[in-house]
Structure formats: C-alpha cells, structure tokens
Structure 1
Amino acid sequence: MAWGVRRARAGRRWGVAWVVVGALVIGGGFGVAGAWHAYRVQGHPLQVVRAGQRVVAVVELTDDPKRVSVRAFGGPKVMVRATLVEYRLGGRIVRAGGAVAVVAPAAGWGTLMPGQRVEFRARVGRPWRSDLTVAVLRADAVPVAVGDPPWWQRIAGRVRGDFAASAHRALSEDAAGLLPGLVIGDTSALTDHVQENFRETDLTHLTAVSGANVTILLGAVLVSMRALTVDPRVGALAAGVALVIFVILARPSPSVLRAAVMGAIALLALCTGRRKQALPALCAAVIGLLAWSPGLAVDIGFALSVLATAGLIVLSPAWSDWLRAHGWWRIPADSFAVAAAAFVVTTPLVIAISGHLSLVAIAVNMVVEPVIAPITILGAIGALLACVWSPLATLVLHCTAPPLWWLLTVSDRAAALGASMSLPSGVRSGLITAVICGLVLVALRPRPTPTPAIGTEP
C-alpha cells in the first residue's frame, strides 16, 4: 500500500515537472519567434524612409475597409489592413512584405475586397502600435486595381452586398445597418447614433464577429441535424461546412478566425458540460493562434475574446447552477450568469484601455441576450437566400424587425440614462480593477450546501 502511494506521488511530481518543462519550452519558443519578428520589422526598408515622404505602394488587402472617426482624421476616412507587395521611391522599386495600415479617403476605397491588389500614392507614417505593423500609409487618391480578389472573396462580396440590399428593403435604416453587423460583422452601414448607443452601453461586441456568433450558428446546425435524426458524424460535418461558410462570409481575417476557434470551444463546453476538456482546448487554441498570427498577442479583441470564453467555461455554469438552486428559472439564470461572467473578467482590460465603465452593462446584456440568437439565425438564413431569391430573403428578414426593434430600443433608453463612469485608463487602473474583480469572484464563489449527517433530523 505504502509503495503504491509513493509511486502515485512520484507520478504526480513527474507530471508537474513535464508540464513546467513544456511551458518553458513553449514560452522560450514564442520569445525567440517574437524577437525574430520584431527584428524583421525594425529592419524593414520602410523604416529608413523619412516620415511624411511620398511613395507609390502596391499592397494586397487583408480585410475590408472600415470607417474611422472623422474627428481624428478630418473628413470621411477609411482604414484597411494590408500586406505590402512593393513600393517605389524615386526611380527605385523595393519589393518587401510586411503588414501595413492604410488610411485613405472614403471615396474609391469602400468597394475594395480582401485579396485584391491596388496601387496608390501615399505618405509614409510610423506605426501607432507595436503590433508588427511596419508603417502607416496615408493615401491621398483613389487606388488603381492591379489584381482581382480570389473567386471565393468575390462570391462572399456578392452575398454580403445582396444581404445588405435585402435588409434595407425589409427594415428601417437603423435596423438595416445593424443586422449585417450582428450576423457577419459588416458595420459599413451602421448609423452613428446606434454605434454611439452601443458603445455607451457596452454592446459593441455584438457588432463585431465574435465567438457568440459562431456558437449560435453551430448550435442551430447541430440542433437541426439532431431534430432530423441525422447521424452525429454527419451533423458534425454539416457544422464544419457551416463554419467554413461563415468564415468566408465574415472574411477570414485573424479576428474572424479567432472568433471561429473561440466559438467552437464555447460550444464544446456548452454541449458536453465538461469544463475539464474545454479549458485545455482553449489553452491549446490560444497557443495555436499565437503561433499562426503573432500579432494577436497585442490584439485587444483577441484578449477580450479569450477572457470572455474562459469566463463562460469556468464561471458561468457554477453561477447559473447557484441561481437555479435559489429559485431562478433556467433561461434567466443562464443569461445572467453568462453576462455577469463576461463582464467581470473583461472589465479590468476594458478600463485599462478606455477608462469607461458602464453601470448597466450586465442588465442591458441580460435583457437583450434572448433576441440575439433569433436575429443571428434568421439573418444567416436571409443572407444565404438573398443571393438565390431576393423576395424570400426579404420576407425572412422582415421577421427580424421585432427583435431588432427591442435591441435598438433597449440600447437607446439605456444610453439615455447616462449610467457610465469615466475612470483613469492605463495599467495601474486595470490592475486595481483586476484585484477588485478577484475579490468579488472570491466573495461570490458558490459554496456547497452542507448535507445533513445520516441519522440526524433535517
């Protein structure tokens, strides 16, 4: 017996030792890779070009052009991420890769697609963040297309355009601009006051492609396959195909791929109920995504998505069970637990970045959560039908009007309350908030109900 105990303890010690060694090896590998990428950025040919100097650049777009604040840049502008192909300075042509950010007038840039190569004149600027971007190119003219986007991006662009057109035929201006953002992250038609209301009430995560979109869509596919009594392997294959279609429609940028991975892991946790499996899967996904795209290490959306997914896996099930044990119904208990867990784990980072804290964020997210799934599913069906038969797509999208009205009304009324606080931003505020949130988590940790001893009176 004693020998067996000693052997078990030795096995545990060896297990811990191997985990530590693995962590050190992976950490060292990422450190070396990060140093190498940073060295390549510092040694990029554009680093020796004087800031403000004009070049003729050829880039390949990696994302859709997105509107930026008029106040920050003076006039309607868009920003788009791209990969540098070459640039001309004087009579010299330099072929070099590297990630660049292009800031340009809105005219002539809004219809471009990812994968398309364009040529334009621009002034060279220094990067705003240390995210492996080699330069900011400020274009001052309409670009000239020098290459077509891939065929699948053209199909995705057509579907997105038909979807937006059907939404505008079926819905009001605010709802039609919001629906593509909720379904596939297309915020090009989102009105300014709706965007401001969502920012004030901490609902902006709904208009970005997130793991929630993926979880809802994959869950709907799996439930449909189960209702049709399809073989589980066929259902898993159908969910995989749906995931690929969604990624193509939402554009396969790093943020979308991150959302796809996080959503799949969240669905794994919800379907299996095995947090012990979902949490290692989340860690493995984080390691894999960072290895594939090192720039995610300083991407705020990536950090918020990982934290929210971890909160969903670790905190929300126990909180939901505790609420149900104290008389809550299942649906409100799950809604509150998910919203509260996401709020608690992401608040320190939000405050560190923006210094903004909404006092009604949990309540607002809880109130609007029941309508997100119907909007997402009906919107996805409408997006697919829009490129097949527009009248049927318009009919389906009419069904999203009531839940969209509810979402817009709640965000408008909540924003009108002005229930938000402006706090100092920065690392110190984030750390203080993290300590406070940690104490809250300890205080709110559900405690097991003591069971009466055998033979005692209840």
Structure 2
Amino acid sequence: MSGPAPADRQLVEVPSVLDIRLLPVALSCWAAALVAIGFGWRIGLILAGVLTAAAIALSPMLFRDRKQPGAVLLLVLLAVLLTGAGFAAAAAWQEYRAETHPLRHMAGGTYVTAVVVPSEDPKQLPEQAFGPRQWMVRAGLLEYRHGPVPVRAGGSVIVLAPGPGWSALVPGQQVTFRARVQRPWRHDLTVAVLRAQGPPTAVGPPPWWQVPATAVRTRFVAAAQRALPERAAGLLPGLVDGDTARLPDDVRENFTKTDLSHLVAVSGTNVTIVLASVLVSVRRVSLGPRVGALLAALALTGFVILARPSPTVLRAAVMGAVTLTAVVTGRRRQALPALCTAVVGLLAFSPGLALDAGFALSVLATAGLILLAPGWSQWLVAHGWPHRPAEAVSVALAAFLLSSPVIAALTGHVGLLAVLANVLVEPVVAPITVLGTLGALLSCLWLPGAVLLLRLTGPPLWWLLEVSGRGAALGISLSVPSGVWGGAATAAVVAVLVALSARPPGDHRTPADPDG
C-alpha cells in the first residue's frame, strides 16, 4: 500500500494495550455474511438458527454469574452469537432474493429490454484481439421486458457494453437498452450479467448532486490534458478521484505487476491525505477544533461526491476517516474498535462486501497499520533508522503482508517488489493528491490557473511512471496457486512471519494509514 499522509507525520506515543472487545463481533458478522452468501441462503439460515440456539443456551449462565470475573467474556460471547445470527439471517435473505430472481432462471442468451441505474462509473476493460473495446457497468435493475408485460424487479447486475453511448454515463442515470442475459460469473449477490447489444435507447438525467461532480471531473480532465503529457494526463485523474477511463493499458499493466494498482482506485489513501491537509491548514491558521472538524466533514463530503458515492468510495471514506481519527487523537487503543465498528456498519449497509476483494484488502491493510506498523517502526528507529524511512518501510510492509493472501488468491502471484515500489513512490503520492485536488477545484473557476498548477505534478508523475515501468520490466514475483489454497498457503506464511516478528510489549506509535 502507499505511504502515509504527509500531515502530522510524527509518531505519537500511546499505550500498547489494544481494546479487542469488538474484534470478535466484527469477525463474527463478516464470517456469517460470507457463509450465507457464499454457500447459499439455506446454509445461512441454518447458521443463524445454530447461533441463536447457542445464545439462548448461554443466556442463563450470564444472568447467574453476572458478578463473576468471567461475566465480561460471557457477555462478549453472547454479543458475538447474536450479531452473527442477525447478519447470517440478513445475508441469507439477500442471497435468497438473488437466487430466486427471475433473471437467474432464464436460459443463457435470452434477449430482454432492461432498465437499470448505474451505481458506479463505467470501467474500461482491457483491449481484446477481436471485437470492439468493452465497458463494464455495475448497476441496479429497475425492470426488464421479455414479452409484452414489463417485470419490475430489483437486484444488482453487471452490464457489458460497447463504448459508444456507455463510456460517458453518470451514476444515477436511468438507461434503457437491449441485452442478452447470462448467469453471473461469481457466486455473489449479482443476479445476472447483461450483454448490451448496442448503445442505450434512452438515457435519463443524472441526479442533481452528480451534475457539479461531473462538471468538475470533466474540466479537471481537460486541464490535465493541457498541462501534462498523454500518459501522465491519463494517470492523474485516477490518482485523485479514481477516474481511469483514459489510463493507458501499459500503465495499468505496470501498476498491476508492481502492486501499485490501489493508487488508481479511490482508497483510504486519498481520504486520509485530503482530510489531513485540511486539519493541518486549520491548525496553522489557529482555528478551533470544532471548525476543523466541520471543515474536514465538508471536505470529506465533497470528495465523496467528486469521486462518486459508490460502495467502493464509501468504504474508502470510512477507512480513511478511521485511520485519520487514530492519528489525530494519537490513541491507537481506539483505532481497532473504530475499525471493527466500520466493518460492522459497512457490512450492515451492504452485505455483499463480505465477498468483495477490495473490502478485504482495505480492512486487512488498515489492520496491519494499526497492529503491526507501529511496533515495527519503533523497532527500526531503536536500531538507528531515521523516523521517516522507518515509518515508510513499516507501513508498506505491514499493508503488504496482511493483504498478500487476498492478492495471491486473486492473481496467483505475490509481487516481491511491492514493498520497495510502495516505499519509492510514497513521497510523491501526497503531493500529487493535494495538487491534483486543488487543480480540480480551480479548473471550475479559472482553467489557465488550473493548468499551471497541474504542471507541478509533472515531475512526481514522471517518477511514479518510472518506478512502475522499471519494476514491471524486472518481472520479479513469486507464483503461487490461485484461489482458496493459494490464499491459505500465503496466509500461513504471513502468520509465521508475523509471529516471528512479535516482540515484548512496550510503548508503540501510530503512523498515518495510507489505504483503506
């Protein structure tokens, strides 16, 4: 993962004892939702019943021994069982609705006329040897027509479409199109894959809050194209607001090979940098903490609107806010409960996140920065390392280790240059994000001024492209089996390495969290 935000980079002395009382609850909710969605709604209901029965059996023990020392453990266990049962039942209901959806039972290749509302910006798929370039759009289904009568049915769908008429869609616009129905690729809450047979036949107006966001994004792209070379101009919007529509294929591939892809997706890095910059500016002009909190909240709201309020962006906003709270307060003890609360809240809002790789990567990376990076950074400083290099290496290594099992399961490889690449690019990520965000805002007021400002991002963007390109050319990675077995094997190795790195309790320090 990328390096910490530049603001308040000094480490803050905090107690080493962590509050882990909410950790079992968060793990229980996550596991229950994963089982119910991944293994089917029937298994989910059985799990909910078993957990509920266990909670009922445990309740008399709690009331009988509530004044005993073990009562706290019994209370935590009861909370784990009840919340797990609730999440299993809720996820089972969502999986039941997806499994019994009419589109799931249609024969593959059936033609329908669908009405959907995109939930995210269209994403360009890699170029293929044959056929036109495709775009992927995640959307919510409103209704479909297969025959004379339209069927109103909700559900999440994936639309695969040719570029014309689709690349400029804005989340929230209602679109109508002709499509072929296919079963979803993965066992999640997606009800169908719809292969569009051409451009949409009708496009509704975007929501009012997307109009200014679209205007800012469009003018930002125009300013970047005037200020920077082609490859850098295509990369900058991805680093600032996750807009990868113009990202060159070779840059995308280089970032994947060097495990820098998280930089071109909206993550906790962006949120942490933006909020930290606001809070530092507030401190320097001697405004009160309430004003600082209000301005930070407004900045967070504006950034979420600019980057589109999709589940991915909301997840990043929550993770970034959790990290920044821990850094600003200097209390690592509160960081883990905040992370656990965020996990439970996000899963309650969107149970499908339980199987989402991006969600897992964000949570694991944030956990690594809370649990591992402070101790490692302090150990390096105690052995003669300067503070900033110690922080950068500890942050990159902690995020890489805990997220590597998921990456191994998805890609079948572990990038051995990931830590080095992230450490090398860490100093330029924050300047690019801050200058890019200011340039995006200025582009709406004074385009020539925005062009001049964005030219300052040229050298750091060149460095980022050089590191990713040269690192990808080396091709140094460790091949592992993809899927569950590869992820499990990598997790076992990571567990051994973390256990070997354990050291006696002592005071720890908390660095800024680079990613969510």
TM-score (norm 1): 0.94
- Alpha-carbon distance in 2 for matches of 1:73, 1:90: 33
Whether contact under 8 Å (1:170, 1:398) holds in the other structure is yes
- Structure 1 position 90 matched with structure 2 position 147: yes
Q: Residues 257 and 119 (structure 1 numbering): CA distance in 2 closer, same or farther, change over 3 Å?
A: same
Match of 1:78, SS state, is: strand
Among candidates 260, 273, 293, match of residue 330 of structure 2:
273
CA RMSD of aligned residues (A): 1.5
Whether contact under 8 Å (2:126, 2:249) holds in the other structure is no
* One-letter code aligned to 1:241: L
Among candidates 352, 359, 365, match of residue 308 of structure 1:
365
1:422 deviates by 2.4
- Alpha-carbon distance in 1 for matches of 2:182, 2:477: 35
- Structure 1 position 168 matched with structure 2 position 225: yes
- Alpha-carbon distance in 2 for matches of 1:140, 1:299: 28
Q: How does 1:260-409 map to 2 (within 5 A)?
A: 260-409=317-466
Query: Quick check: 410-419 or 369-378, which moved more?
Result: 410-419
Among candidates 170, 173, 179, match of residue 236 of structure 2:
179
* One-letter code aligned to 2:82: V
* One-letter code aligned to 1:296: L
Q: Deviations over 1:364-390 (max 9, x none)?
A: 100110110000001000011111110
* One-letter code aligned to 2:243: D
Whether contact under 8 Å (1:322, 1:446) holds in the other structure is no
- Structure 1 position 135 matched with structure 2 position 184: no
- Structure 1 position 237 matched with structure 2 position 303: no
Q: Residues 320 and 126 (structure 1 numbering): CA distance in 2 closer, same or farther, change over 3 Å?
A: same
Aligned residues: 442
Whether contact under 8 Å (2:405, 2:488) holds in the other structure is yes
- Alpha-carbon distance in 2 for matches of 1:415, 1:360: 9
- Alpha-carbon distance in 2 for matches of 1:413, 1:147: 45
Indicate the residue corresponding to 1:440 in structure 2: 497
Indicate the residue corresponding to 2:181 in structure 1: 124
- Structure 1 position 417 matched with structure 2 position 474: yes
Whether contact under 8 Å (1:116, 1:145) holds in the other structure is no
- Alpha-carbon distance in 1 for matches of 2:460, 2:426: 10
1:446 deviates by 3.5
Q: Deviations over 1:169-204 (max 9, x none)?
A: 111111111111011111011001111110110000
- Alpha-carbon distance in 2 for matches of 1:9, 1:73: 69
Q: How does 1:137-156 map to 2 (within 5 A)?
A: 137-156=194-213
Indicate the residue corresponding to 1:455 in structure 2: none
1:60 deviates by 1.0
* One-letter code aligned to 2:357: I
Match of 2:278, SS state, is: helix
Match of 2:345, SS state, is: helix
Indicate the residue corresponding to 1:452 in structure 2: none
Query: Quick check: 41-50 or 116-125, which moved more?
Result: 41-50
Match of 1:127, SS state, is: coil
1:73 deviates by 8.1
Whether contact under 8 Å (1:319, 1:446) holds in the other structure is no
Whether contact under 8 Å (1:201, 1:361) holds in the other structure is yes
Q: Residues 381 and 334 (structure 1 numbering): CA distance in 2 closer, same or farther, change over 3 Å?
A: same
1:11 deviates by 5.1
Structure with larger RCO (C-alpha < 8 A, sep 6+): 2
Query: Quick check: 47-56 or 188-197, which moved more?
Result: 47-56
Segments of 5+ residues of structure 2 without an aligned counterpart are 1-64, 507-516
1:106 deviates by 1.0
Q: Deviations over 1:130-170 (max 9, x none)?
A: 22111111001110234211111111111101001100111
Q: Deviations over 1:298-322 (max 9, x none)?
A: 1100000000000111111111111
Q: How does 1:21-36 map to 2 (within 5 A)?
A: 21-36=78-93
Q: Deviations over 1:2-22 (max 9, x none)?
A: xxxxxx995541111111111
1:268 deviates by 1.5
Whether contact under 8 Å (1:315, 1:341) holds in the other structure is yes
Indicate the residue corresponding to 1:190 in structure 2: 247
Whether contact under 8 Å (2:144, 2:151) holds in the other structure is yes
Q: Deviations over 1:291-350 (max 9, x none)?
A: 001111111000000000001111111111111111111111110010000011011111
Match of 2:471, SS state, is: helix
Match of 1:71, SS state, is: coil
Match of 1:85, SS state, is: strand
Q: Quote the sequence identity (%).
A: 58
1:75 deviates by 2.7
Indicate the residue corresponding to 1:454 in structure 2: none
Query: Quick check: 414-423 or 401-410, which moved more?
Result: 414-423
- Alpha-carbon distance in 2 for matches of 1:448, 1:144: 64
- Alpha-carbon distance in 2 for matches of 1:72, 1:108: 22
- Structure 1 position 109 matched with structure 2 position 166: yes
Whether contact under 8 Å (1:56, 1:122) holds in the other structure is yes
Indicate the residue corresponding to 2:26 in structure 1: none
Match of 1:120, SS state, is: strand
- Alpha-carbon distance in 2 for matches of 1:47, 1:317: 48
* One-letter code aligned to 1:153: Q
- Alpha-carbon distance in 2 for matches of 1:48, 1:434: 37
- Alpha-carbon distance in 2 for matches of 1:280, 1:107: 47
- Structure 1 position 79 matched with structure 2 position 136: yes
- Structure 1 position 217 matched with structure 2 position 274: yes
* One-letter code aligned to 2:171: P
1:79 deviates by 0.5
Q: Residues 72 and 48 (structure 1 numbering): CA distance in 2 closer, same or farther, change over 3 Å?
A: farther
Match of 2:209, SS state, is: helix
- Alpha-carbon distance in 1 for matches of 2:166, 2:373: 43
